[in-house]
Amino acid sequence: MKTSALPTGTALITGASSGIGAEFARQLARRGQRLVLVARRAERLEALARELKQVHGVTIECLSADLAETSGQELVAQRLQGTPPVEWLINNAGFGSGGLYHETKAPKQMAMIEVHVKATARLIRAVLPAMVQRRQGVIINVASIAAFAMVPTSAMYSSTKLWMVGFTKALAAELEGTGVHIQALCPGFTHTEFHDTEEYRHFNRQVVPSFCWMTAAEVVRQSLHAVERGSGVFIPGWFNRLMVLGMKMPGVQSLGKWYARRRWHGSPSSP
């Protein structure tokens, strides 16, 4: 779909309390857009809201919600159907986990389906009818390049992100000509709090060469630029695009599988 001018109204961002979500908030506030910030940590949202109101003078609502819970999903869905109307929905909330599936904690795996899949599907369903009716809107689903690599030790993460990519592609086809843009944003290694959890305690960022990493600011800048050009799957950064190309080559998937298993069993990060 080719670009028309994108709407400049209210943007609702999930996972806005840190990382990529907070950066979407910063860059959209800079454009003067009204924001609805969603995450569990209310104090983080309030602090960001204060900062952005002060710097950009924009109106900001904060909504504390746990998107792993149906009640949290419904709270946000309700706001999406309220006023003022939401013209941008950024489904960014998410988290990773590692380990062989049969050894992982079941509640965390189920929560991942809730946050990555169910919340994304529910929130889009809540907001899309009005976007189609108004003939304008932007939806960005933050997936990952992991969607293109089904490797051991991140089965649920990779496959829920693959769902996000597939769902976005199908909706992009449905929405052609409606004026609604939809993007599956697939970042690679990005400097955020993503790897600061207990499960990644032995993950050493230094092991990954610096050219493989992007800042959240650059990921968001490229995503916003790409969505202006139209809908579809977008991979920020030349290295990430190269990685995804490489993943399709015979032999590379096998190498990835071997490396992931070896890393998990051969390192102190094994659970």
Only segment of 33-41, 101-109, 174-182, 200-208 that touches ligand NAP (CB under 6 A): 33-41
Q: Which long-range contacts (CB under 8 A, 24 or more apart) does 160-164 make?
A: 160/112, 160/113, 160/116, 160/117, 161/116, 161/186, 163/116, 163/117, 164/91, 164/116, 164/117, 164/120
DSSP 226-254: HHHH-SEEE--SHHHHHHHHHHTSTTHHH
Q: For residue 17, give the 3-state DSSP assignment.
A: coil
| 101 classed as catalytic | no
Q: Which stretch binds ligand NAP (CB under 6 A): 40-48, 100-108, 121-129, 132-140?
A: 40-48
Q: Residue 235 is encoded by which pair of tokens?
A: 């991979």
Taking the CA atoms of 36, 139, 4 and 236 in sequence, report the sign of the dihedral they define. Answer: positive
Using the contact rule CB under 6 A, the part of the chain among 39-47, 82-90, 203-211, 263-271 near ligand NAP is 39-47
Q: Should residue 233 be labelled a site residue for ligand NAP when binding is judged by CB under 6 A?
A: no
Residue 39 or 180 having the CB closest to ligand NAP: 39
From 194, 235, 243, 247, residue interacting with ligand NAP (rule: CB under 6 A): 194
**Can you tell me whether residue 13 is helix, strand or coil?**
strand
Looking at residues 62 to 91 of the shown chain, list those that interact with ligand NAP (rule: CB under 6 A): 66-68
Closest to ligand NAP by CB, 179 or 232: 232
Catalytically annotated residues: 157
Residues near ligand NAP (CB under 6 A) are 14-21, 39-41, 44, 66-68, 92-95, 115, 142, 144, 187, 189-190, 192-194
